[in-house]
Amino acid sequence: MEELYQSALRKFRKAAVIMNLDPNVQKILEHPKRQLIVEFPVMMDDNSVEIFTGYRVQHNVTLGPAKGGVRYHPNVNLDEVKTLAFWMSFKCAVMGLPYGGGKGGIRLDPKKYSQKEIERISRRYFSEISVIVGPDRDIPAPDVNTNSDTMSWYMDTYSMNVGYSVLEVVTGKPIGLGGSEGRTEATGRGVAKVTELAIQKRKRKVSDVKIAIEGFGNVGQYSALILSKEKDAKIVALSDSKGGIYNSSGFNIEDVINYKKTHGTLSGYPNSEAINDVELKTLDVDVFIPAALENSITDETAKKMKAQIIVEGANGPITDTADELLRGKDILVVPDILANAGGVTVSYFEWVQDLQSFFWKKEQVNATLEEMIEKSFNEIWDIKEQYSTDMRTAAYILATQRIAFGIKKRGIYP
Ligand code: NAD
């Protein structure tokens, strides 16, 4: 079954109808260009061999090399990776980046393996997918359960195979090894920026609203940190896979991050009330930011949600039918392909810096990112008004216009 991919297509088709998209272009965009599945053996610490399944999908590369993260999770499958690659094509186009969409993943529970085992799995996976990746072809980056260490191993593996250092083959690397200032927090910075813009569109002040965030990994933590420290917002609820916490006066996010580092969980955080998943999503807050995994907001939760703004930090956190229900309730949904595009945008800056061997200051990275996000937000808002539609459909229209232009100008080969 291709449930997630079909659901992504339904959202795209809605935009295709409204913008009267050329059916030939639509056909091309509905099919991923390449789907690679690799099965590979890795030696475990106890000298046994385990076989892993990995994926790399390139959805569309009309406007440039494929770009997208690699996810390590027990539920990774082709449908998910294909959908994530599809979203990446539109995300890059929304931001006007010279990239197409790609995504990768390994089906495994990283908690079950030692760091050395994860390193060997990562290196072998990257070697296996090297037949289609490369700095001009497809440039991976971190996603769920992968980070700058993973990217260092990927970069080293690729470099060892070609015989020289190729920094620009992946992004999300550590600073000092071709990484960019501001990359780690970039997705959170983008989420914080669009949250601020959405609040302003609803004629409110960021300092007056209450925010709840689901997921406390890279995206959740930095969204919370930047919103609270730089934008003066009050974050009243947070959660991770083990449960949620609530405090009506708002959290000191730096302190919560330290607690999570020490305890591995948010549960038990001092002066907080424990809340479950449904309670978190249906709290009396103004903004809800899902920053965990797909399909987190279902019909049941959508019906009970009180937040007036939802900012999709995660990819695909709202099911199809829940999306319709939220629209019916006049809830402003800032779609993933804009809301979490900060990561790929600073990845683009990193790639450009690596290619030029010239590195930018953090202020330049942050300012350029915020400027680009605001520009895309406003372009989407104008399309939304022009077609009297929602922000998601408007974002798909904007992205599709850009990719369709490339497809038409290039023509169909041969
Ligand atoms: P991460 O692995 O750093 O964090 C994921 C977090 O979600 C963890 O805190 C985990 O405990 C939590 N979580 C998992 N299941 C949960 C549940 N049922 N309820 C509550 N929390 C749960 O991953 P990340 O990089 O922060 O990615 C999160 C989402 O953002 C994913 O959808 C990813 O594709 C998307 N995204 C990430 C980036 C990036 O730069 N990292 C960029 C764009 C989009």
**Ligand 1 center–CA 408 separation, angstroms:** 36
pLDDT at 158 (0 to 100): 98
CA 257/CA 383 separation, integer angstroms: 38
H helix intervals, 97-167: 115-129, 148-162
pLDDT at residue 1 is higher than 80: no
41 touches 50 (CB < 8 A): yes
SS3 of 283-336: the string is CCCCEEEECCCCCCECHHHHHHCCCCEEECCCCCCECHHHHHHHHHCCCEEECH
Q: In one letter, which amino acid is 190?
A: G
Q: What is the dihedral of CA 236, 240, 242, 247, to 10 degrees?
A: -10
Task: State the average pLDDT for the chain.
Answer: 97
pLDDT (average), residues 229-249? 97
Confidence class for position 379, pLDDT limits 50, 70, 90: very high
- pLDDT tens per residue across span 143-157: 999 999 999 999 999
325 touches 302 (CB < 8 A): yes
H helix intervals, 33-114: 78-94
Q: Is the CB of 144 under 6 A from ligand 1?
A: yes
79 touches 1 (CB < 8 A): yes
Q: Is 115 exposed, middle or buried (0-12, 13-18, 19+ CB in 10 A)?
A: exposed
- pLDDT tens per residue across span 308-356: 999 999 999 999 999 999 999 999 999 999 999 999 999 999 999 999 9
The CATH number of domain 32-169 is 3.40.50.10860: yes
pLDDT (average), residues 125-129? 98
- pLDDT tens per residue across span 327-340: 999 999 999 999 99
- pLDDT tens per residue across span 15-55: 999 999 999 999 999 999 999 999 999 999 999 999 999 99
**Ligand 1 center–CA 351 separation, angstroms:** 23
103 touches 174 (CB < 8 A): no
Q: Is the CB of 219 under 6 A from ligand 1?
A: yes
- pLDDT tens per residue across span 44-88: 999 999 999 999 999 999 999 999 999 999 999 999 999 999 999
Q: What is the β-pairing status of strands 273-275 and 34-43?
A: unpaired
Longest dimension (CA), the chain: 66
**Ligand 1 center–CA 85 separation, angstroms:** 16
pLDDT at 147 (0 to 100): 95
Active-site residues, by number, are: 103
Fold: same for 32-169 and 186-339: yes
**Ligand 1 center–CA 146 separation, angstroms:** 10
Q: Is the CB of 244 under 6 A from ligand 1?
A: no
Q: Quick one: fold of 186-339?
A: Rossmann fold (3.40.50)
- pLDDT tens per residue across span 250-284: 999 999 999 999 999 999 999 999 999 999 999 99
- pLDDT tens per residue across span 381-396: 999 999 999 999 999 9
pTM for this prediction: 0.97
**What are the extents of the domains in the chain?**
32-169, 186-339
pLDDT (average), residues 373-378? 98
Instruction: Report which ligand 1 atom has the smallest distance to the Cα of 292.
Output: 7
pLDDT at 2 (0 to 100): 82
Q: Is the CB of 223 under 6 A from ligand 1?
A: no
- pLDDT tens per residue across span 86-119: 999 999 999 999 999 999 999 999 999 999 999 9
pLDDT at 68 (0 to 100): 98
Instruction: Report which ligand 1 atom has the smallest distance to the Cα of 71.
Output: 34
- pLDDT tens per residue across span 166-197: 999 999 999 999 999 999 999 999 999 999 99
pLDDT at residue 232 is higher than 90: yes
pLDDT at residue 291 is higher than 90: yes
pLDDT (average), residues 395-404? 98
pLDDT at 411 (0 to 100): 97
Q: Is 90 exposed, middle or buried (0-12, 13-18, 19+ CB in 10 A)?
A: buried
